[in-house]
Amino acid sequence: MNWVYDCNIIPVNDAEMKENKETFGVKHCTECNRSYEMDGSKTHYHLDFPTFGLKREVCCECDN
């Protein structure tokens, strides 16, 4: 039996989505194809992190 509930439909606010994307710190390096985030002077790399929608930038390690 398949049940469909109307209460599961959540309206999407484009302004909230844009704000959350800009404050999300994980980026994707175009050189080494790894996802990373900066924490002060440290760079944390994430293995097997989904890259769809991440901001594309070259990480510090590849920039040298």
pLDDT tens column, 2-50: 555 455 555 555 555 555 555 678 899 999 999 999 888 888 898 888 8
Specify if 20 maps to a domain. Answer: no
* Residue 55, domain extent: 26-64
> Tokens in use for 30?
């175009």
Q: Which pTM was predicted?
A: 0.61
pLDDT of residue 42: 87
pLDDT classification of 51: cutoffs 50, 70, 90: confident
Specify if 1 maps to a domain. Answer: no
Give the separation between CA 41 and CA 30, rounded to whole angstroms: 20
Evaluate whether 36 touches 46 at the Cβ level (below 8 Å): yes
Give the separation between CA 27 and CA 61, rounded to whole angstroms: 13
Say how many domains are in the chain: 1
DSSP-derived secondary structure letter, 47: T
Distances (CA, A) of 16 to 22, 25, 55: 10, 16, 17
Specify if 11 maps to a domain. Answer: no
